[in-house]
Structure 1
Amino acid sequence: MKNIQHLIALPCIFLTLLSCGIYTVSPSALGNVKTIAIPLFDNQSTESGLREQLSDRLSQAFVTDNTLKVVPEQQADGILRGSVISYSREPYTYSKSEVVSEYKSVIGVKVEFVNRRSQKVIWEEANMSNWGTYDAVSETENDGKSRAIDKLVEDILNKTVKGW
């Protein structure tokens, strides 16, 4: 009986260890792209300051991620270009007395990632958006904008380096 348990346990342990391989992300779409430039985004919205915040946060995120090295445009294999195309603020939640308790800041962007050498578009999104909320009493609209930018940065980074 003990031998049968060992015979069953050994293959299970082996299969478990085998499934614990190293997970790496290397999307084939990146090909030989090892460096990236992130020029200042355009602003087609009526809200000032968003393009600078988004471009800066994207650069910081790519430096932290370290999958692609951030370099000047002339040295880059890939270029991440974009435009802030919309910004809106709208009520998100209301109190029992029908007073706004939270607002929602929504930022829309157009983004493309291009192989600089071949000029081929690796990926593009004509209308990528995300949002962040902020408390109407204890926070400011900038808090909502910042949360929306954080989510957009994560979306753009994942789409670029992980292909999601």
Structure 2
Amino acid sequence: MKLKLILMAVSLLSGCGYHLAGTENNLPSHLKTIVIPMFANVSPEPGIQANLTTSIRESFINDGRLKVVSENTADMLMKGLIFQYELRAVAFDRRDVAVEYWVILGVDIEVVDQVKKKTYLKQKVNTKWDYKASLDAAGSEASRQIALTQAYRDLANRLLSIVVEKF
């Protein structure tokens, strides 16, 4: 009886498309490498393109399903444009002073299959991360930077999933 239950569970799991998150690779077999040049930035926040691009590259490197290489040898090219950076106050105290903010980032990406010379994917992706404001300016800025770093990582992981898993 136990053996029947185990066999039934195994067959159900294998038949329903079950897989571990972050392990599926839906890329065509000819796409094994990617180049990720510095994203362009037209948002009102100068300089964020360097940290965001670094986070995206690190996400792909750590994942390992696509090898990050230089442009002249890459099967894929990911071009990106940061079109949105917004700091939005979302919670206030009794004196109407902002105590919590959202950091909102929006990017427009295009991934090009350089082997077949065609667009593989074109998409807008947004993320937001919240943080608590501090009474002093230095503390609030430190909290904003932490939230921004978390937003970079979230966006990087989402882009990885979109490109590699088509999810």
**Would the TM-score normalized by the shorter structure come out above 0.5?**
yes
Question: Could you give the per-residue CA deviations for residues 55-78 of structure 1, whole angstroms, max 9, x where no partner exists?
Answer: 101111101000000000111001
- 8 Å CA contact 2:100–2:130 kept in 1: the answer is yes
Question: Within the alignment, does 1:133 sit opposite 2:145 as a pair?
Answer: no
Quote the offset at 1:119 in angstroms.
Answer: 1.9
Using structure 1 for the length normalisation, give the TM-score.
Answer: 0.86
Q: Distance in 2 between matches of 1:17 and 1:86?
A: 46
Structure 1 residue corresponding to 2:70, chosen from 65, 69, 72: 72
Measured in 2, the distance between the counterparts of 1:79 and 1:88 equals 27
Deviation at residue 97 of structure 1 after TM alignment? 3.7
2:9 to 16, 24, 44: 16
Q: Which has the larger radius of gyration?
A: 1
2:61 maps to which residue? 63
Gaps of 5+ in 2: none
3-state SS of 1:118 partner:
coil
Specify every segment of 5 or more residues in structure 1 that has no aligned partner in the other structure, as ranges: 1-5
Aligned residues: 155
Q: Structure 2 counterpart of 1:163, which letter?
A: K
Q: Which residue number in structure 1 is paired with residue 160 of structure 2?
A: 157
Amino acid at match of 1:39: P
Match of 2:116 in 1: 118
CA drift at 1:35: 0.5
The percentage of aligned residue pairs carrying the same residue is: 25
Counterpart residue identity of residue 54, structure 1: L
RMSD: 1.8
Alpha-carbon offset, residue 107 of structure 1: 0.9
- In the other structure, the counterpart of 1:81 is 79
